Structure 1
Amino acid sequence: MKNLANYLDNVNVFSATKEEPSWMLELRQKALEQVDELALPVIDRVKFQRWPLLDIKEDAFNEPEFSGSVPVFDEMKDNPLLVQVDEQSSFEQLPQELADQGVIFTDLFTAMQEHPELVKEYYMTKAVPFSEDKLTAAHAAFMNSGAFLYVPKNVVIEEPIEAMFYQTSSRAHFFKHVLIVADEHSEFSYLERFISQGSEEAVSANIVIEVIAKAGAKIKYAAIDQLGENVTAYINRRGHILRDAMVDWAIGVMNDGDVIADFDSDLVGDGAHSEVKAVAISAGRQTQGIDTRVTNKAPHSIGHILQHGVIRERGTLTFNGIGHIIKGAKGADAQQESRVMMLSDQARGDANPILLIDENEVTAGHAASVGRLDPEEMYYLMSRGLRKEDAERLVIRGFLGSVITAIPVKEVRNELVEVIERKLNA
């Protein structure tokens, strides 16, 4: 990285401005020292090494003026809600009864000041180590905003917890960190959106979401990513899942720019369980490479992957499904299905299944396919009077439907269908 000393000065000033605890500044400094030394992550069959993922402006920590206006979001409800615009929180809502039970849901810097030991215990220590690779180190050094959610032991939240992150400034980098900690036997649903608006200048994004599910916790996590064509992004979502805990992931990858993503679940406790469902659409000339990995580290752990994607025009979409059963994880179950549909002769798709089995007495399997629209399905629908465009839309909806219907939250299913329709009609 160029002008490292200047970046170090900027990092130090930013940390002081945010009144971060000393351990956070030390972590930033250590990470910055290692950025140049570490290698990029490996995303099989995706050439992203020349992407501007580390293109950070020297004045990027100078926060833009906040207009005070809040983007339009869902009709006001009483559920927990956090809205961030660029680096600033514009709206936070947490019902009093949840606050009385010890639930914490706020921006990351407030959490560091008010709950420093709790954040320190989990921030880039369990799920995503800051020194894992060049992009995680850059994230730790340049993280400029994010959120913290903590749900205490035995607390069950019926209403969904929503977080919305908007990027409107083309000057600032978009390095968001979301840390979610579900204490023992807690249960809740979490809904997340990343949206970029109005930025015509190229900008880099580096987003890390850490989900810590302690013993017996159950989390339904849903996300819809809608970053614009001028945003080049690295997105890392990872679960650290303990004994008898479960994280049910449902992710819509609906970006317009180039993206590499890691969607990982580490099953570290006996009986840990992860279900990963992802849908993606690539169009134009964009490239999206998605590594979805489940690592069974403990006996009787269960990890299932289901991902379907559609490619239009000259888009490129790669699914790498990785199931890894570690030595000692007897009785583990690792299953995956990856399917890609291409709507153009110039589209490029890949579904790459990888099974790494280091133990006996386990169950594992995979299915993968890459193909085009079924001409017999199209002929049948058009013979019934449907226009080609309408028939194509029905076939695509059916293709993605097996994933969409598996999403546990109705509102997210409906919203994802709307986003898919907009992207297909663009």
Structure 2
Amino acid sequence: MEFNKEFLEDFELAANDHGEPHWLVDGRVEALNEFNELDYPQSKKINWDLLEINEPKWHKSNRQLIPDCENNGNIQIIQLGQKVIVNNLTDDLEEAGVVITDIFTAFRQHPRLIQKSFMNKVINSDEDKFTAFHAAMLNAGIFVYIPKGIQVDQTIEIHVLKDDTLNLPLITHVLVVAEGDSSVNIVEEITDKGSNKNIFNGFTEVLARMNAKIDFKILNKLSGDGEVFLKDKAYLGKGATVNWEENLLNDSKTYASFENNLFGADSKVKTTLNVKSPNNKEFNINVVKHGNNVSSEFDKNFDA
């Protein structure tokens, strides 16, 4: 698929009109070129042609769709469609340097924290056609930054609601950067409302620096028929620990890639995979061990 000059100009103009920094716009255009040159991962169940390249578009969702969330004392962030509309990060954590925000806000306001990490250290846009698509077409997401030595005692709840009242795919990205000797517990819940058959393309990048500890639980409760394309990956520094709990509770066709790079010595990762309706889901599970004395565990429970 070749993109003509007019399309590329309109594509770049749409990203610029969205107020994106030049480095991000340049990255989108570069990903388009990579999309032309790369291949999709092999799959027997997924129709990759559903990942369509168009000009980036943004639409506001009806705030009446906001899910009810129990006031349980946790830090809560709610992404309704493409926008973050609730964020109750506490003042003391904000003063300590913790950042939890919409990913496009982070691109504009925190480039020093995000530019070198976003699709550069953990997942790269040029891995395959799938990653290039995501980098080019990103339209939503959340950025979490935990400074060195900060222990976040409260659970961070991320609620992502795919707005299927609109005819618009959700291409969303969660990036977590935990600096050395920090710790955080994150629970992400993904749901939907509406009847349109939109795809869901969700990437999660976790960058755990030296001796950082991250517990990350993801509950995919999408109820619609739109196909689901996932890629979750962690990069672990020396002595870092990441515990994943992946819960695929959706009924729709799903491609999911779960990957970990144990780069630093003495790093540890554990992945627990709970799957409903496994027959229409396809998985890529990969662990790369670079460091010495690293540890990797994997447990699965199908028809959870």
- Of 193, 217, 220, 1:222 maps to 217
2:113 is paired with a residue whose SS is helix
Partner of 1:345: none
Partner of 2:26: 26
Percent identity, aligned pairs only, is 25
- Closer, same or farther: CA 217–198 of 1 in aligned 2, 3 Å: same
Kept in 2: contact 1:11–1:142 (CA 8 A): no
- Closer, same or farther: CA 14–281 of 1 in aligned 2, 3 Å: same
Larger radius of gyration: 1
- Closer, same or farther: CA 73–6 of 1 in aligned 2, 3 Å: farther
Kept in 1: contact 2:75–2:155 (CA 8 A): yes
Shift of 1:158: 0.9
Give distance in 2, aligned partners of 1:82 and 1:151: 15
Kept in 1: contact 2:60–2:81 (CA 8 A): no
Kept in 1: contact 2:191–2:222 (CA 8 A): yes
Which structure would you say has the larger RCO, counting Cα contacts within 8 Å and 6 or more residues apart?
Answer: 2
- Of 296, 307, 313, 2:300 maps to 307
Kept in 2: contact 1:278–1:307 (CA 8 A): yes
Matched, 1:232 2:227: yes
User: 1:27-71 CA distances to partner (integer Å, 9 max, x unpaired)?
Assistant: 1000011112101124xxx40463443135x46x33334323352
Give distance in 1, aligned partners of 2:156 and 2:132: 29
Partner of 2:47: 50
Partner of 1:368: none
- Closer, same or farther: CA 6–206 of 1 in aligned 2, 3 Å: farther
Aligned residues: 303
Matched, 1:199 2:192: no
Q: 5+ unaligned residues in a row in structure 1: which ranges? A: 311-399, 401-426
Q: How does 1:16-415 map to 2 (within 5 A)?
A: 16-42=16-42, 46-48=43-45, 50-56=47-53, 58=54, 61-169=56-164, 170-200=166-196, 202-282=197-277, 287-310=280-303
Kept in 2: contact 1:179–1:211 (CA 8 A): yes
Kept in 2: contact 1:84–1:166 (CA 8 A): yes
- Closer, same or farther: CA 191–2 of 1 in aligned 2, 3 Å: same
Kept in 1: contact 2:45–2:281 (CA 8 A): no
Shift of 1:180: 0.3
Give distance in 1, aligned partners of 2:200 and 2:8: 20
Give distance in 1, aligned partners of 2:175 and 2:91: 22
Give distance in 2, aligned partners of 1:181 and 1:94: 16
Amino acid at match of 2:21: P
User: 1:378-414 CA distances to partner (integer Å, 9 max, x unpaired)?
Assistant: xxxxxxxxxxxxxxxxxxxxxx5xxxxxxxxxxxxxx
- Closer, same or farther: CA 102–213 of 1 in aligned 2, 3 Å: same
Amino acid at match of 2:177: V
- Closer, same or farther: CA 25–62 of 1 in aligned 2, 3 Å: closer
Give distance in 1, aligned partners of 2:2 and 2:50: 14
Give distance in 2, aligned partners of 1:15 and 1:146: 15
Shift of 1:210: 0.4
Shift of 1:78: 3.6
- Closer, same or farther: CA 91–119 of 1 in aligned 2, 3 Å: same
Give distance in 2, aligned partners of 1:94 and 1:79: 9
2:276 is paired with a residue whose SS is strand
Give distance in 2, aligned partners of 1:68 and 1:104: 24
User: 1:116-138 CA distances to partner (integer Å, 9 max, x unpaired)?
Assistant: 12111100111100000001000
Kept in 1: contact 2:206–2:233 (CA 8 A): yes
- Closer, same or farther: CA 180–281 of 1 in aligned 2, 3 Å: same
- Closer, same or farther: CA 302–96 of 1 in aligned 2, 3 Å: same
Give distance in 2, aligned partners of 1:16 and 1:238: 29
Give distance in 2, aligned partners of 1:194 and 1:293: 23
- Closer, same or farther: CA 50–79 of 1 in aligned 2, 3 Å: closer
TM-score, scaled to structure 2: 0.93
Give distance in 1, aligned partners of 2:50 and 2:156: 30
- Closer, same or farther: CA 188–50 of 1 in aligned 2, 3 Å: closer
Give distance in 1, aligned partners of 2:33 and 2:44: 26
